């Protein structure tokens, strides 16, 4: 995104033109920004390492196809995310299946799809995978996801590596699974995995988790397992406000140095750092409202379109789509949903009037993918801009779409 002569542009197109043609609210993404962000990882990895994009960040089929064409693998956390990836043309040998509550149906589908590996998150899940592999008489490649008891200092909802988290295996569970699989021909432990959370700015926290899984992998090899991959997860952050952003180049330089005497291949699972800065949510100012000393800009996008500010108290930059020569004032951006918490931005200095448009920045990750139909509101259209071309990659929902599954 850039500003030229008072107008906000995404690649080569004024955002105001997009808003007027397609209506609001809308999500729009930059092809070049996604590509550039992905290439920052690709330029630094070794030939046999894998980048497995975290599909949960943004699962739009067109974006998955784009990333697959760039050489990405995928980290999925549900059977339907796996289906999306395969439909998008993903290489099944570059797909890892994470998540703590995989159903029997999901595991059966993953095993039959011959993906790279399935993360084991609990003893119960291990037993379920073993049962299904026996039913199918099919060998399964698995990863042991470790809980390293590392906290990262971000929002508590996106901390996944602490001892009290629902994610990963403790040391006793790792030992039990290792013992059960040493002589088992159906479960093949090929990876040790860890993901400690999201919006990480300190690469050394990921290195700390790498040291943990490397030690476990070494022990598993001593016990007779053939460990090929260390999956260090994702989680590098972006700059929403004034926080430090993670540096893929610095991270991977340190990772390679940590493993210089080892033969392990690395799996990375970036999500937010690939798509986060590539998307904006464009919304129209419906009204300006004064309440005591406070001014609200009532906009047509709400918490059903972008839940992060309400759920995580997340901060997003807000920009006028078109600059006006009027006095700047302080506004809270309030959405149309009937909840007091439907505030997408607080205390922002803006030059706006009713019927103007504003852009909420850096919503490419955990934006459209977390939308809902609360208040029977329709999910927004999604667009991809490449240079001076706009492509619809998800149609705006209609009322008929909204009620199509109801009887």
> How many CA atoms lie within 13 Å of 54's alpha carbon, on the beta-carbon side?
26
* Catalytic residue (one of 52, 142, 194, 338): 338
Q: Which residues of 241-264 are buried (b: 16+ CB within 10 A; e: fewer)?
A: eeeebbebeebbebbeebbeeeeb
Q: Specify the 3-state DSSP secondary structure of 334.
A: strand
235 φ/ψ sector (left φ>0, alpha ψ -120 to 50, else beta): left
CB proximity list for 118: less than 8 A, separation 6 or greater: 96, 97, 102, 107, 110, 111, 129, 140, 141, 142, 143
Q: Which residues of 8-33 are buried (b: 16+ CB within 10 A; e: fewer)?
A: bbbbebbbbebbeebebbbbbbbbeb
What is the C-alpha separation between 196 and 139, in angstroms, rounded? 29
What is the C-alpha separation between 30 and 9, in angstroms, rounded? 10
Longest Cα–Cα distance of the chain, Å, equals 75
Q: Hey, CA dihedral for 274, 359, 311, 375, is it positive or negative?
A: negative
The answer to whether the beta carbons of residues 119 and 97 sit under 8 Å apart is yes
What is the C-alpha separation between 152 and 265, in angstroms, rounded? 25
Task: Specify whether 338 is catalytic.
Answer: yes
CA dihedral 268, 272, 277, 279 (to 10 degrees): 120
**Which residues are marked as active site?**
338
């Amino acid at each position: 995104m850039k500003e030229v002569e008072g107008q906000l542009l995404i690649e080569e197109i004024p955002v105001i033109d997009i808003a007027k043609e397609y209506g609001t609210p809308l999500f729009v993404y930059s092809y070049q920004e996604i590509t550039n962000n992905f290439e920052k990882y690709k330029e630094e990895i070794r030939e046999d390492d894998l980048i497995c994009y975290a599909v949960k960040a943004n699962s739009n089929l067109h974006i998955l196809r784009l990333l697959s064409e760039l050489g990405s693998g995928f980290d999925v956390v549900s059977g339907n995310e796996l289906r999306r990836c395969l439909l998008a043309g993903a290489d099944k040998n570059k797909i890892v299946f994470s998540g703590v509550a995989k159903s029997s149906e999901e595991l059966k589908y993953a095993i039959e799809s011959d993906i790279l590996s399935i993360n084991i998150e609990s003893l119960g899940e291990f037993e379920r995978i073993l049962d299904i592999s026996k039913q199918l008489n099919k060998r399964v490649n698995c990863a042991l996801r470790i809980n390293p008891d590392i906290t990262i200092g971000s929002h508590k909802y996106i901390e996944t590596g602490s001892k009290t988290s629902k994610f990963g295996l403790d040391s006793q569970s790792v030992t039990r699974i290792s013992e059960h699989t040493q002589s088992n021909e159906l479960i093949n432990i090929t990876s040790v995995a860890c993901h400690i959370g999201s919006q990480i700015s300190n690469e050394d926290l990921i290195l700390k988790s790498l040291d943990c899984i490397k030690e476990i992998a070494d022990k598993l090899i001593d016990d007779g397992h053939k460990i090929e991959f260390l999956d260090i997860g994702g989680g590098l952050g972006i700059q929403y406000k004034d926080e430090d952003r993670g540096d893929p180049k610095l991270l991977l330089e340190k990772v390679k140095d940590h493993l210089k005497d080892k033969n392990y291949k690395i799996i990375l699972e970036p999500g937010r750092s690939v798509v986060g800065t590539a998307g904006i949510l464009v919304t129209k100012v419906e009204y300006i409202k004064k309440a005591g000393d406070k001014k609200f800009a009532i906009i047509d996008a709400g918490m059903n379109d972008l839940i992060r500010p309400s759920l995580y108290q997340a901060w997003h930059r807000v920009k006028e789509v078109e600059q006006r020569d009027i006095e700047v004032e302080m506004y809270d951006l309030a959405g149309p949903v009937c909840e007091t918490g439907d505030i997408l931005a607080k205390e922002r200095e803006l030059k706006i009037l009713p019927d103007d448009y504003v852009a909420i920045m850096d919503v490419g990750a955990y934006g459209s993918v977390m939308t809902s139909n609360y208040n029977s509101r329709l999910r927004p259209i999604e667009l991809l801009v490449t240079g001076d071309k706009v492509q619809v990659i998800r149609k705006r929902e209609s009322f008929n779409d909204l009620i199509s599954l109801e009887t």
